[in-house]
Structure 1
Amino acid sequence: MRITNCKVNHLTAPLGYWMEKPVFSWQVEEAEGKAQTKARLVVRQGGETVADTGFAQLDSLAEPVEMELAPRTRYTWTVTVCTDAGEEAVSDENWFETGKENEGWNAKWIGDSQARHPMYSKRIAPAKPVKSARLYICGLGLYEAYYVPGKDAAAAGSIETLRAEAKIGEELLTPYCNNYNEWVQYQTYDVTEKLKEEGNLCVLLGNGWYFGRFGFNDPDGRPYYGKGRKLLAELRLTYEDGTEEAIGTDESWQVDYSNIFFSNIYDGEQMDDTLEPVAAAAAQAVEPPKGALTARRSLPVKALQELPAAELIHTPAGETVVDLGQNIAGSFRLRIHEPKGTKIHVQVGEVLQQGNFYRDNLRSAKAEYIYISDGQEHVLQPYFTFYGYRYAKVEGVTDLKPEDFTGLAMYSDLPRNGWLETGNEMVNRLVLNTEWGQKGNFVDVPTDCPQRDERMGWTGDAEVFSPTACYQMDSYAFFAKYLYDMATEQKTRDGAVPDVIPSFGHKGIACAWGDAACVIPWVVYRFYGDKSILEGQFDSMKGWVDHIYGLEQNDQGWRKHFHYGDWLALDGPGGIDGVMGATENAFIALVYLRYSAQLTAKAAAVLGKAEEERYYSELADKMLKEIRHEYFAPSGRCCLDTQTALLLSLRHGLTVDREQTAKRLQKKFDDNDGKLQTGFVGTPILGEELTKAGLNELAYGLLFNEEYPGWLYEVKLGATTIWERWNSMLEDGSVSSTGMNSFNHYSYGSIVEWMYAYVAGIRQAEDSIGFRHVCISPVVDARLGHVDARYQSAMGLWKTSWKAVDDNHLEFRVTVPFGCQADVALPYAPESLYRDKENAIFAHVEDGVCRLEAGSYSVTYETTAPLRRIYSTAAPLKELLGVPAIRSFLTEKIPQIGQVPDHMKSSSIRELAAHFAGHLEAGTLEVLDEALAKLG
C-alpha cells in the first residue's frame, strides 16, 4: 500500500503560491483494501506540530485544514491512511512553503521606459554562511533573473551566457498575464545553492503583455496596462546562526542596457550585438503598478518539449524553411556564426502554400526574430515573446543545417492525466492534435490561438473545452488562476464578464462566452471534488447571472444584445468567410441564462446557501417557461430547425418529447448527407447528445468522416492541431481565409471529451464528484478496432479497454481505483453472461449493471449483435456513400450512381434499381451485398 500524489491546493510541493488556506489531497495505490476508513493529517513547522486532525473521516479529494500561516515559512506534512482491510500506511514527508503573505517589502519599485531593455544588478556579499536564501520578485512586463557568482558586473558576460549559465529557475514569460490593474503576482525562488558565495544578482526586463502592444483597443499598439517597465525584488538570506538579511531593489542597484531593443508578444523580438554598450547608472525609483501585489497563482510556463527539425525545405520561391513537423506554441534555438553586421531574420508560419512559406493568416502580427551579428558564434533564443508555428523561414544564415534549429514547445506545466489510443491511426492523430491544441493554448491563459494578433483568453473557447482539458491534463490550478482573474474583471463591471480574460480593456459580453463564469467552476468542481473553487467563485457566478438577468428584465435586453451565438457554424449566411450560425442568438442566450442559473443554484446547494439555491432554482424554472413559451409549440416541438437548436433542446431538457426531437435531429443530419453544420455552441455537445439519443451510428459516422466538414478532414490534410474553422484549409491545400483563420484553435477538440466519456466509457455518474463513482458503458464500433484509455482522476487511475476480437466477440477490461465504484454495463452482452458468478466482474449485478469496487476486471464474450455494421443494397444510398471505401467501390462498379439526384439518395440501391432499371440480372444485387458486407 502506497500513498501517492500528495498535493496542497492541487499543487505538488508549492513554493510561494497564494494560499489563504491549505487544502490537502492524496491518493492510495497498491492496497489490499477497497476504501479508506479513516485518515490523519499532521502538519509540522521546524519539527513542531502546528496542526493534527487525529484519525477522522477525512476527504482525500480535498481536506481543508484551518491553521494560521506564517510568512516565508516551510511546512512539512504527512497523511496516514487506514483501509477496510486493516492496512495502515504513512505517506512520505511532503512540504509547502508560503510567500510573503501580508508582510511588507524591504524593497522599492525601480524601472524605466527606454527602447533598449534594461538589466538591473546588485552586488551580493553574504555576511555569514548561508543556511537558506529566497528571491521574491516581480518584473513588469516580463523578467528573467540571474545570479553570477564571483564576478563583478562587467565580467558577468552576455545575456546569452547569463541565461545559459546563471538563470534562476526554468520558467519563461514570468510574471505572466493577468488583470494588472487589479493584481500583479510575484514569484518565489529557492536560491540557496547559488548564494553560497558572493556575486551579482541581475534582472533583465522585457515588455510582455504589460508594456507591449496587445489586445484590440489601441490601433497604434500602445500598451493598455503599463507606462513603463518596473522591477521589485527582495532577496532574503537566512544565515546559519539564525539571523536574517533582506536586500531589496532601490536606487543602490545599477542599470545598464542590453542589446535587445524591441520585443512584444505579437511582433517578436529584435537584438543587435553591434550596438555600443551603455554605461551603467543608478536605478531610478518609480511608482508601483496599479494592481495589488500578491503571491503567485500562475503555474510555471516552461520549454517542456524540444522538437528537432523534421525537414529543411528549399521552397520553389527560393526560401530556406525549417519544418518541425508539428504546430506548436513556443520559441526556438538557432545556432549561427555569421560575419559582423549580418542580419539574421526568422519568420514563422503554420502552413505552406504551393510549397512556399506562408504567414498571411497572422494578420498584423509580425511574429519574427531579428538579430544583428557581432561576428561571433551564438545560439539564439528569444527572451520575451513566443510564437505559434510549425514552419520557420530563416534568412541570413549561411549553409543552415537541420541540426542548427530546435523548436521549443512552451506551455504551462500541467501534469498529463489522460491517455487515449484506438486502433484507428487517423482518430489517434485527432486525439494527439487535441493534446497539442491544449498545450499551444495553455500558455498561462487559456487562449483562442497562439499565433496571430489575438492570443487572448476568450471565455467561450475555455468554457466549451474545459471538460476535455480536465480529461487530458490536471487543470485545477490553471483554471483557478483564470477564474480569479475573471472575478477581478467583474468587480468593476457590475458582474459582467468580458469576452476575453484578462480583458485588456475589451468591454463586450456575450452568451456562452460570459457563461464561462458559471460553467468552468462547476466543471472543475465535478472533476476534482474540491468545493474551494465554488467558494472562491460563487460571487462571480451570482454576479454574472444577476447582470444578464437584469438586462433581460429591461425590455428583453439580454436576448436583444449582440451575441456570437453558434459561432462559425455552417448553416448561417456569409459563405466561406461567414461566422454567424443560423440558430437564433436570442434562443441561445436564454438557454445559457437558464443553464448558468441552474449551476449557480447547484453551487449554492454544495455551499449550504439555501436562500440562494432557492432563488436561482426558481429563476431557472422561470427561464424554462419563457423558453418554451417563445420557442416551442404546444406539442413540444422546437420551432427552430437547426442541428444546434435541437441539440440544445436535448442537452438542457427543453423539449417534453425527446423521442420526437431525436428523430428530427436524425433527419437534419440525413438532409445534410449525414454531415454536421454545428459551430462553437453545438459541436461540443454533439457526440454526447447523439449517444444519449440512441444515435451512436450517426455519432461514429461524424467521427469517421474524412470529408469536409469533419474532424478527420483536417487530419487527412495534414493537421497537427485543431483548426478554428471546419474549412480552414480547402481540399486543394489552399488556405480558405486570411481574415480570421487559425490552425491551432482547440474548441472543436471538445469531441475528445465524448471519446473519454462514451467511447472509452469513463463517464462520471451524476451524483459523483472527483470520479468517485463512474458509469462505464463503452459505445463500441468495430471500425476503431480497439480502445485503450487511462484517466488519472482526482481519486486515482481509471483504466478501460475494449477490443473487437472479431465481428461477434468483444474483450473488455477495467481497473477501478482505490475508494471508487464503477457501474458497468457491457455492450451487446447476452443476459446469460451476467449469471457467470465465477468471474469477479459479475459478483454484484443489479438490473443488468455490474457494481464494481476497486480492482481490475476482464471478460471476453460473444456479442448479441455484430460489432461491425453490415451494409447491403437495402441501406439508403446516402448512408453507403458516406463510407469512403463503399463510395469508391460503388462509383467504380456503378458509374451512373453519381447521377442520382440528392432528393433520391434516401432510397436504397434496390429501390432505385427497381424504379429506374427494372429487374437486374439474377444474382447481381446478391453479389453487391456480399461485397458491401466486407467493406463496412
Structure 2
Amino acid sequence: MNIYNLKSNHILNPIGFLMDTVTLSWIIDAPFEEELQGTQVIIALDENFEEVIHDSGLQADLDPRCYQPEIKLQPRTRYFWKVIAKNAGGDESYSEIQYFETAKEDEQWSGRWIEPARQMERMPLVRKLFRLPAKPIRKARVYATGLGIYELYLNGEKIGDEYLAPGFHSYDFWQQYQTYDVTEALQAGGNAIGFMLGDGWFKGRFGFDGGYENLYGDQFRLIAECLVTYEDGTEETIASDDTWEVAEGPLVSSSIYDGEVYDANLEIDAWNKYSESESDDCWESMQLSDTDTEKLQARLSVPVKIVDAFVPELILTPAGEQVLDFKQNMTGWITFTADVPKGTTITYEVGEVLQEGNFYRDNLRTAEAKFTYISNGKPAEVRPYFTFYGFRYAKITGFDLLKQDLGFKGYVLQSELEETSGMITANPDVNQLLKNALWGQKGNFLDVPTDCPQRDERMGWTGDAQIFARTASYHMYTPAFYKKFMHDLRLEQKALNGSVPFVVPQIKPKDDAGFVTGTGAAAWSDAATVIPWVLYEQYGDRSLLKEQYSTMKDWVGYIVREDMKSGGKCLWTTGFQFGDWLALDGDNPHSPMGGTDTSLVASVYYYHSTSLLARAAEVLGNVHDALAYTKLAAEVKQAIQNEYLTATGRLAVTTQTAYILFHYFDLCPEPFKERMTKDFYDKVISSGVHLQTGFVGTPYFAEALSKNGMNELAYGLLLNEDYPSWLFAVKMGATTIWERWNSILPDGKISGTDMNSLNHYAYGSIVEWLYRCVLGIQADSNQPGYKHFFLIPQPSAQLGKAEGYYQSVSGRIESAWEILADGQLDFAFRVPFGTTANITLPDMSLETAQKTEWLRSAVAVEDSTKVTVKAGEYRVTYMPTRNYRPEVTTELSFRELLEYTPARKVIFEQLPMMRNNDIALQYLDMPMEKFKDLPIVSNFVSEQALERMNASFA
C-alpha cells in the first residue's frame, strides 16, 4: 500500500495558518484486489513520535478525506503526524511523516504596529539591527505582516519564495499575518531583519472605474516578532517598536494597476545586513502606531509563488517598436539582467494583443501597467516587487535589444495550487480550449479569484467565482484557496445583514457609493451557497460545509426578505440584477444585461440556493432547517412554474437561457417535459446551434442539453468555430478565455475597450461539462469526495475520442472512450482503490453486457446499461444499438443534419438566410434532398452556393 498526498487543512505541511479546525486527509493506493483492514493516525510533538498526543487506534472506518482528531492545539507548536494502514493479511504500510505548525493563536503580541513618522515619497525600507549570543538555536520564527505589501529579509537574503504577502483580504475586518521559519538564516553575533513595503491593495490606487486611493489606510504599517528558541530552553524576542529604522528606498513608486519605477541610484548598500558603524543619515526612527492588534489573525491565504517561466521572442513591429512575445497570455512579472551604463532607463509596457502587428494596450483602460528601471551602472537582476501584470506582449523602450540581449523572461505568479486533472481529445482545437481555460484560472487565481489580471479591475467578482467553482476544482486542488475567499465573503456578509457583495473583498470608495459597492444580486451573491456545496461534493469535507452553513443560511434569509418586500410570492423580483450578463439576445445592443427576464434568473437562483441550503442542512443533521428549506424550495419551484409557464407548457420567456435554466434545474413539470424539451431543441436549432447566452446561461448550456437527450447538440455547440462560440477564440489564436464572445473581431481588431478582457475565465466553465459529460466523471453528493461516484460518458462522433483523468481526494479516476472506424464504442475506466462507482454505458443492450464478465450484474436504464463496480480497471468494446457514425447524405432530415457540425456548417454557411430564423423550424424533418428544391431555398441562394452544398454531400 502507498499512503500519499497527506494534507493538513488541505495544505501540505502548513506553517502558521489559521487552525480553528484540524482536518487531516490522505490517499491510499494499493492493488485493487487488496482489502484494507483499517487505518491509524498518530500525532506527536516530535519527529520520532516519542511524545504522542493523539493515537486514533486502528479503525476500519476512518475517513481519509476529512479526519478530525480531538486535540487541543498549543501556540507556536509543530505537530508531526503519520498514517498507518493494515491490509486484511495484517501487513502494515506507513506514510511519510508530515507536519503542521500553529501560529501565535491567542497569545498577546509583544511587537507593536509601527509606521514612518512622516509620509514617505518612495516605498520604505524598514530594518532592525540586533545581536544574538553564541549558543545553539533550536528554532526561530518570524511572525509578521506589513500594510500594504511586504517582503521579509534576514541578513541580506529574502526569506521564502512567496510574493505579494500578506495578499488581498477584507482589511476592514481582519489582517493576516505570516509565519516564517528563519532558523537557518540567523547567526551568532550581529543580525539584521529588514522589510520592504509597498502600497498594494491596502493604500494604493485600487477599485472600479479608475480606482480609489487609500481604500483601507493612508500610512504604511508593520508589525513583527522574531522569536528565537535556544537549545537550553530560553527564548528571546526581537519585536517591532520605535527603535526600528526606516528609510526611503529605491522603489520610487509601486501600484497594482500602474506598475513600478525602480531607481537603482537610490539603493542603500547593505541596507538589510548587520553593520557596527553608525546608521547613515537616510535612516529615521519608526514611530508607534495607535492601531491595536485585535484584527490580527493567522493567515488563510495560500502563498503566491512563481509557478512557470517563459522566454520571449523579439518582434520588430511595423511601427518600429521592440516587442517581446511570450506566446502565452499570462499573469506575473517580466525580469531581465541589467548590465548597462549608469542612467540608462529601460521601460516595458504590457498588452494582451497586437493590432495590425503593433503594440496595443487600450483595453487596459486606466491601468498603465508599466515597469521602469533606472540603472546605477552596476550589473543587476531586475524584477518588480509589489505589482503584477496580465500580458502576452511587452514593448521595450530605452535600450536597443538588437545590440545586447538582456535575458528577458516572463514569470507566472499564481496562488500555489496543485493541478489535478488532464484531458485530451481527437480535436486539437478542443485541446487548446482546455488549455485556455486552465490558463484563465492560472491567471486569475492570485489570492482571490479575480475577474481579470490586466486592466484597472482585478477584483474578486462573486459571479465569476461561483460560475467557475467546479471547473476550478477539476483543474486544481482548491479547498484552501476557497476557504480564504469564503472567509472574506462571510466577514463582508456579516456587515450587510445577510447580503453578499458583487465583489469580495468589497471595494468601498470614500463616498460609500457606486456600482461596484452593490450587494445582493442573483448568480453573483449566490457564491454564498454554490461554492460551499461544490467544495463539499468534490472534497467530502463536512467541516468546510459546516463553516459556511451560516453564510448559506443568511444569504437565503436575505432573499426571503426581498421576496417579502414584493408580497411573499416565492419569487425574487426586487433590487438590481445582472440578469444573463453579456448575453447576445438583448433588445438593446449596447446593454450587457441580455434578453432573459432578470426576475426569472433571480427566482431560479432563489430556488437553487434554497435547495442547496436544504441539502446542506440535511448533511449537517439540522433536521428542522432541512424540512423548512425543502418546503420553501418546493414553493419557489411551483411559483416559478406558475409565473413563467402557460397552461399548456409554453415558456413565457423564450430565450436560450430561460430554456437552459428550466432544463438544467429540473423545473419542467413532467406533463410538459416533452413539449418543453422540443421547444428548447427548436430554439437551439433556430440559432444555428450557436450561443446567445451570457454569464448565467453559458455554464449550464451544454449539460442542460446532454442531460435532456440532446447530446449531439451539446457537442455541436462546443465544436462551432465561428462567432459566437468557444472555438472562435481558439481559431483567432487565443491562449486564454475571453470576456466576450467577440473580444476580437474576425479581422483581428479588438471589438472595444470599455470592458474587454482577453483573460476572463468565466466562459471556461465549459470544462465542467467536458469532465462531467464527455468523460462522465461526476461526484455523488450522498458519498462526497468520490468515495462513490458516477462514470457516465456521453460520446459523439463529432469529437471521436476523449480520454482524461481526475486526481480526486480518493485517488486517480480515469475515463476514456473512442468511436472506432467500424462504429463500435470502446471504453476504458479506472476506479481508484477504496472507492466504488456506477458506470453507465450508452446504447448497450443487456444481451451485449452479458458477454463481458464485469458487466454481468448490469441493469438496463433507458437506452443504456448501468453497473456498480469496485476499485479496478475496466474495458469494454461493443456495437451500440444506434449508429454513432451516420453517413451525411441528402437523405437525412434537416434535423438530423443539424446535429452534426460538418453538415450544419454547410447548411448555415451556404444558406445564410436560415441563420437565427424560425423559418428553419418548419423544415426540420424534411429530407435535405427535398429541402434543397424548396422555393425559399432556390429563390434566395445562389447557384454557386447550391453547387457548394451539393458538393459537400457528394
Tell whether the 8 Å contact from 2:798 to 2:900 is kept in structure 1 after alignment: no
Cross-structure match for 2:110: 106
Aligned mates of 1:614, 1:256 — CA distance in 2: 62
Q: Secondary structure at the match of 1:470?
A: helix
The 5-angstrom pairing of residues 431-510 of structure 1 reads: 431-505=434-508, 506-510=517-521
- In the TM superposition, residue 292 of structure 1 has moved relative to its aligned partner by 0.8
Cross-structure match for 1:156: none
- In the TM superposition, residue 335 of structure 1 has moved relative to its aligned partner by 2.4
1:387-415 Cα offsets, whole Å, 9 max, x none, are: 11001011012225676211111000011
Q: Which amino acid aligns with 1:553?
A: M
1:562 equivalent in alignment to 2:573: no
1:183 equivalent in alignment to 2:174: yes
Aligned mates of 1:346, 1:250 — CA distance in 2: 39
Structure 2 residues without counterparts, runs of 5 or longer: 269-280, 509-516, 939-946
1:576-617 Cα offsets, whole Å, 9 max, x none, are: x43111110011111111211111111111111122222222
Tell whether the 8 Å contact from 1:33 to 1:84 is kept in structure 2 after alignment: no
Gap change, CA 1:613 and 1:264, over 3 Å in 2: same
Q: Which amino acid aligns with 2:328?
A: Q
Query: Of 781, 799, 808, which aligns to 2:823?
Result: 808
Tell whether the 8 Å contact from 2:444 to 2:450 is kept in structure 1 after alignment: yes
1:374 equivalent in alignment to 2:376: yes
1:404-445 Cα offsets, whole Å, 9 max, x none, are: 211111000011101111111100000000000001010000
Tell whether the 8 Å contact from 1:566 to 1:679 is kept in structure 2 after alignment: yes
Aligned mates of 1:793, 1:247 — CA distance in 2: 44
Query: Comparing 678-687 with 906-915, which one deviates more in the overlay?
Result: 906-915
The 5-angstrom pairing of residues 238-249 of structure 1 reads: 238-249=229-240
Aligned mates of 1:740, 1:329 — CA distance in 2: 18
Aligned mates of 2:352, 2:341 — CA distance in 1: 30
1:159-213 Cα offsets, whole Å, 9 max, x none, are: xxx5xxx110000100001000110111111111111444211111111001111
Cross-structure match for 1:584: 597
Gap change, CA 1:568 and 1:436, over 3 Å in 2: same
Query: Of 548, 568, 573, which aligns to 2:587?
Result: 573
TM-score, normalised via structure 2 length: 0.91
Cross-structure match for 1:872: 889
1:852 equivalent in alignment to 2:869: yes
Tell whether the 8 Å contact from 1:871 to 1:929 is kept in structure 2 after alignment: no
Q: Secondary structure at the match of 1:726?
A: coil
Q: Which amino acid aligns with 2:525?
A: G
Aligned mates of 1:87, 1:632 — CA distance in 2: 63
Cross-structure match for 1:23: 23
Query: Comparing 591-600 with 907-916, which one deviates more in the overlay?
Result: 907-916
- In the TM superposition, residue 27 of structure 1 has moved relative to its aligned partner by 0.8
1:115 equivalent in alignment to 2:130: no
Cross-structure match for 2:620: 607
Cross-structure match for 1:826: 841
Gap change, CA 1:619 and 1:909, over 3 Å in 2: closer
Cross-structure match for 1:424: 427
Query: Comparing 579-588 with 907-916, which one deviates more in the overlay?
Result: 907-916
Aligned mates of 1:610, 1:884 — CA distance in 2: 49
Cross-structure match for 1:12: 12
Q: Which amino acid aligns with 1:783?
A: Q
Gap change, CA 1:276 and 1:614, over 3 Å in 2: closer
- In the TM superposition, residue 720 of structure 1 has moved relative to its aligned partner by 0.3
Tell whether the 8 Å contact from 2:857 to 2:867 is kept in structure 1 after alignment: yes
Tell whether the 8 Å contact from 1:34 to 1:853 is kept in structure 2 after alignment: no
Query: Of 390, 394, 411, which aligns to 2:414?
Result: 411
Cross-structure match for 2:552: 541
Aligned mates of 1:812, 1:929 — CA distance in 2: 35
Query: Of 246, 264, 271, which aligns to 2:262?
Result: 271
1:871-896 Cα offsets, whole Å, 9 max, x none, are: 111345697589775578789xxx98
- In the TM superposition, residue 559 of structure 1 has moved relative to its aligned partner by 1.3
Q: Secondary structure at the match of 1:615?
A: helix
Give % identity. 42
Aligned mates of 1:517, 1:462 — CA distance in 2: 10
1:212 equivalent in alignment to 2:204: yes
Cross-structure match for 2:734: 719
Aligned mates of 2:608, 2:796 — CA distance in 1: 33
Number of residue-to-residue matches in the alignment: 903
Tell whether the 8 Å contact from 1:179 to 1:504 is kept in structure 2 after alignment: no
Aligned mates of 1:241, 1:636 — CA distance in 2: 81
Query: Of 292, 295, 311, which aligns to 2:295?
Result: 292
Aligned mates of 2:82, 2:267 — CA distance in 1: 57
Cross-structure match for 2:929: 910
Cross-structure match for 1:221: 212
Gap change, CA 1:896 and 1:369, over 3 Å in 2: closer
Structure 1 residues without counterparts, runs of 5 or longer: 149-161, 919-926
Gap change, CA 1:227 and 1:903, over 3 Å in 2: closer
The 5-angstrom pairing of residues 482-881 of structure 1 reads: 482-505=485-508, 506-555=517-566, 558-575=572-589, 577-656=590-669, 657-837=672-852, 839=853, 841-842=854-855, 844-847=857-860, 848-875=865-892
- In the TM superposition, residue 788 of structure 1 has moved relative to its aligned partner by 1.5
Q: Secondary structure at the match of 2:186?
A: helix
Tell whether the 8 Å contact from 2:144 to 2:179 is kept in structure 1 after alignment: yes
Q: Secondary structure at the match of 1:298?
A: coil
1:707-747 Cα offsets, whole Å, 9 max, x none, are: 00000000000000000011111111111111100000011
Q: Which amino acid aligns with 1:103?
A: E
Tell whether the 8 Å contact from 2:686 to 2:920 is kept in structure 1 after alignment: no
1:258-313 Cα offsets, whole Å, 9 max, x none, are: 1112111111111222348661122221132787101110001011101110x211
Gap change, CA 1:667 and 1:49, over 3 Å in 2: same
Cross-structure match for 1:61: 65
Q: Secondary structure at the match of 2:326?
A: strand
Cross-structure match for 2:941: none
- In the TM superposition, residue 336 of structure 1 has moved relative to its aligned partner by 2.8
Q: Secondary structure at the match of 1:235?
A: strand
1:739-775 Cα offsets, whole Å, 9 max, x none, are: 1000000111000001011101112235330012222
Tell whether the 8 Å contact from 1:2 to 1:31 is kept in structure 2 after alignment: no
Cross-structure match for 1:331: 333
TM-score, normalised via structure 1 length: 0.92
Q: Secondary structure at the match of 1:274?
A: helix
Q: Secondary structure at the match of 1:854?
A: strand
Q: Which amino acid aligns with 1:873?
A: T
Q: Which amino acid aligns with 2:40?
A: R
- In the TM superposition, residue 383 of structure 1 has moved relative to its aligned partner by 0.1
Gap change, CA 1:757 and 1:34, over 3 Å in 2: farther
Gap change, CA 1:465 and 1:556, over 3 Å in 2: farther
Q: Which amino acid aligns with 1:138?
A: T
- In the TM superposition, residue 34 of structure 1 has moved relative to its aligned partner by 5.6
1:76 equivalent in alignment to 2:67: no
Aligned mates of 2:914, 2:44 — CA distance in 1: 78
Q: Secondary structure at the match of 2:548?
A: helix
Gap change, CA 1:365 and 1:291, over 3 Å in 2: farther
Cross-structure match for 1:51: 54
Cross-structure match for 1:258: 249
CA RMSD of aligned residues (A): 2.5
Aligned mates of 1:454, 1:436 — CA distance in 2: 19
Aligned mates of 2:55, 2:705 — CA distance in 1: 50
- In the TM superposition, residue 459 of structure 1 has moved relative to its aligned partner by 0.3
1:297-336 Cα offsets, whole Å, 9 max, x none, are: 0001011101110x21111111111010000111110223
Cross-structure match for 2:161: 170
Query: Of 139, 142, 154, which aligns to 2:149?
Result: 142
Aligned mates of 1:269, 1:281 — CA distance in 2: 24
Aligned mates of 1:211, 1:488 — CA distance in 2: 20
Tell whether the 8 Å contact from 1:424 to 1:783 is kept in structure 2 after alignment: no
Tell whether the 8 Å contact from 1:41 to 1:78 is kept in structure 2 after alignment: yes
- In the TM superposition, residue 252 of structure 1 has moved relative to its aligned partner by 1.8
